Structure 1
Amino acid sequence: MAPSTLKDRVRAVTVEAQATKLKPVIRRAETVDGGTAEELHAAEQAEGGETTDAVLTWLERYGEHFMKALPSHVDTGAFFAAVRAILPGLAPCTPASLLQALLTCARFGLVPDGRHAIIKREGKLAVFVPMYQGYVELMYRSGRVGSVHVGLIREGDEWNYEPTAPAPLDFTHKPAVEKPRAERGAPILAYAFCWMTSGARSQVIVLSREDAELIRDEYSQAYQRARDAGRADSFWHTDFDAMWKKSALRRLHKVVPLSAELVQFSKADDAGDAGQAQVLHVPDEDAQGFAEATADHKAAEGSHEPQRVATLPRKRRQPKRAASRKSRRQNGKGLRR
């Protein structure tokens, strides 16, 4: 019997892909009956049922949109297998934000496997978060970059940095790989540079740990929210080194030609860090639903904008002007006398 739902097809296509090593194909999804997405999602959670299967069933409505969003080089079996693995941790998220985060991830051709990208829960909002490997992937995909180099320099490594020297003599790094990690010491610098397909080499970006901490404190709203709430669950808390290298890559983007895709990629990253909806890939027929979901999220968080003060009507000033004219007439009569 052929699989009839997305969850069944995900299982079948993943097994088939692992067995045959062929690119899997997912058929056009069918519409799920039985209430709205929110009602289905909430009912499964309340009943303690298989939430992952329920969400996969709901996502079947948008199977065609996923197929359109995913680039041809992405293994759809690997993508949906990764989605299935992360769904249990995203159960409290609103269906609209979860769908949007997954479609955004698919739009950039990344698998939410924790290496290139991840879908993180921010309260009830699912957020697409690209990792530094995702930035590297899109830089290669732009067609302008021949090779990307990003890494950490440790205390025991041999390195040299002379910005005024000609490339490639201005920067060298020789990791002491023969030493145990304990002897190599802690990371002291992060760096990033690339060689272009034209043969030219980009500027070398070097960031100290203090530089990374300043970027974190000034620009990462996710870190600030976690810190203010007394939590230590932002990526700056849990994987500082990866965010350190990601910051170096983002600085590198300012000195190399960027593709339109990389520009949108950075905007999606910024929106996610700010806790905003990443509305980059919305099915046309669901645009209104996504707008309402975004409005509901903002209302739940509460507005921090100052209330406008009503302007006093101008007609209240008219009696003062009339009194002023009467006073001038009286004064004029007094002068004429």
Structure 2
Amino acid sequence: MTETIGNALEVRDHGPAAMVETYRAEYAALVPTHVNADQWIRLAVGVIRGDENLEKAARNDIGVFLRELKTAARLGLEPGTEQFYLTPRKSKAHGGRPIIKGIVGYQGIVELIYRAGAVSSVVVEVVRAADTFTYTPGRDERPIHEIDWFGGARGDLVGVYAYAVMKDSATSKVVVLNRQQVMEAKAKSDGANGRYPQYSPWATNEESMWLKTAARRLAKWVPTSAEYMREQLRAQAEVATEAQRPTLGGDATAPMPSADIPDEGDDLDEGPIDAEVVDETGEVRS
């Protein structure tokens, strides 16, 4: 009988990297056609073999690890990169032991925006204390951000902004966030405030998480490929009769997870987020 990811729990004695190889054909069928499946699988195997902490967390529940990789495959994002982070995460269901959590990074969100085909460019940048930044909503189409690249240290992170230039040259909603707003997003992050904060992207790559916070809010105002991916998944499910195959949770009739952008838990429970901009006086404007 052909093995599937759904059988993962029956072969736990195999290591996580070996399990990815075992289900190579299934992952190859999940990734979008523009993604090189062999390269994607090599990357997934290399990431788990090259990080002892990740490998240990994956062994604590290989089924969860494979399911997180399944999400990355469906979205067409590279696991273990700034497109799709793989991090150890404390699990009450596993007695406090860490398991693997997949988190879409800012580069992953930007990739999904580009893939939708509605934008010609996406700008996501942090602002540091020594930079010059001006933007007045209603007057300026886009922010003016000047950096003295040769003037020494740029200073601490003070803000972040994001916008897209559409195919018709129009500018999307401009999202501008100050430090307080970014810290509020961080405070809602399970990873940054859990038992293993040292493994959270907030600790390992803080600037990228500032960028992600702005990019995620921008994604509300521009098309992403999530809707397209959901339709593609439904078609794949019909062809592969996915509903009749075992799932990781053991429910043969459970639907496949949607292709919505997963997160650390900070944004998933918030509901819709209003895009915001902050003018030079610090006033927040919707």
- Compute the TM-score of the two structures, normalised by the length of structure 2: 0.69
User: Map of 1:89-104 to 2, 5 A cutoff?
Assistant: 89-90=54-55, 91-104=58-71
Q: CA deviation at 1:285?
A: 4.8
Q: After superposition, what is the alpha-carbon deviation per residue over 1:268-310, rounded to whole angstroms, capped at 9, x for unaligned?
A: xxxxxxxxxxxxx995454444246xxxxxxxxxxxxxxxxxx
RMSD: 3.0
Q: CA deviation at 1:223?
A: 2.8
Distance 1:73 1:220, change over 3 A: same
- Compute the TM-score of the two structures, normalised by the length of structure 1: 0.60
Confirm whether residue 80 of structure 1 aligns to residue 52 of structure 2: no
CA contact (8 A) 2:113 2:223 kept: no
Distance 2:223 2:148 in 1: 33
Confirm whether residue 165 of structure 1 aligns to residue 136 of structure 2: no
CA contact (8 A) 1:150 1:192 kept: yes
Secondary structure of the 2:215 match is: helix
Q: 1:137 aligns with which of 89, 97, 111?
A: 111
> Which of structures 1 and 2 has the larger relative contact order (alpha carbons within 8 angstroms, sep 6+)?
2
Q: CA deviation at 1:120?
A: 2.3
Distance 2:134 2:247 in 1: 55
Confirm whether residue 223 of structure 1 aligns to residue 177 of structure 2: no
Q: CA deviation at 1:179?
A: 2.4
Q: Hey, what does 2:158 align to over in structure 1?
A: 188
Q: CA deviation at 1:175?
A: 1.7
Q: Hey, what does 1:234 align to over in structure 2?
A: 200
Distance 1:97 1:282 in 2: 22
4+ runs deviating over 6 angstroms: none
Distance 1:119 1:283, change over 3 A: farther
Q: CA deviation at 1:86?
A: 2.1
- Structure 1 counterpart of 2:151, which letter? K
Q: CA deviation at 1:139?
A: 0.4
Secondary structure of the 2:133 match is: strand
- Structure 1 counterpart of 2:148, which letter? A
Q: Hey, what does 2:24 align to over in structure 1?
A: 63
Q: CA deviation at 1:161?
A: 1.3
Distance 1:262 1:149, change over 3 A: farther
Q: After superposition, what is the alpha-carbon deviation per residue over 1:17-66, rounded to whole angstroms, capped at 9, x for unaligned?
A: xxxxxxxxxxxxx946xxx6445433x5xxxxxx355324xx42x33321
- Structure 2 counterpart of 1:76, which letter? A
Q: Hey, what does 2:212 align to over in structure 1?
A: 246
Distance 1:77 1:230, change over 3 A: closer
Aligned length: 228
Identity, % of aligned positions: 28
CA contact (8 A) 2:133 2:144 kept: yes
Distance 1:55 1:39 in 2: 11
Q: After superposition, what is the alpha-carbon deviation per residue over 1:215-235, rounded to whole angstroms, capped at 9, x for unaligned?
A: 221x323333x1xx3743322
Distance 2:27 2:33 in 1: 12
Secondary structure of the 1:212 match is: helix
Distance 1:137 1:129, change over 3 A: same
Distance 1:252 1:118 in 2: 20
User: Map of 1:274-285 to 2, 5 A cutoff?
Assistant: 283-285=242-244
Confirm whether residue 118 of structure 1 aligns to residue 85 of structure 2: yes
Unaligned runs of 5+ in 1: 1-29, 45-50, 265-280, 293-337
Distance 1:197 1:150, change over 3 A: same
Distance 1:131 1:94, change over 3 A: same
Distance 1:190 1:282 in 2: 44
Q: After superposition, what is the alpha-carbon deviation per residue over 1:189-209, rounded to whole angstroms, capped at 9, x for unaligned?
A: 111001111221012111111
Q: Which of the two has greater helix per residue?
A: 1
Distance 1:173 1:75, change over 3 A: same
Distance 1:112 1:282 in 2: 26
Secondary structure of the 1:232 match is: helix
Unaligned runs of 5+ in 2: 91-97, 231-239, 252-286
Confirm whether residue 54 of structure 1 aligns to residue 15 of structure 2: no
- Structure 1 counterpart of 2:158, which letter? I
Secondary structure of the 2:249 match is: helix
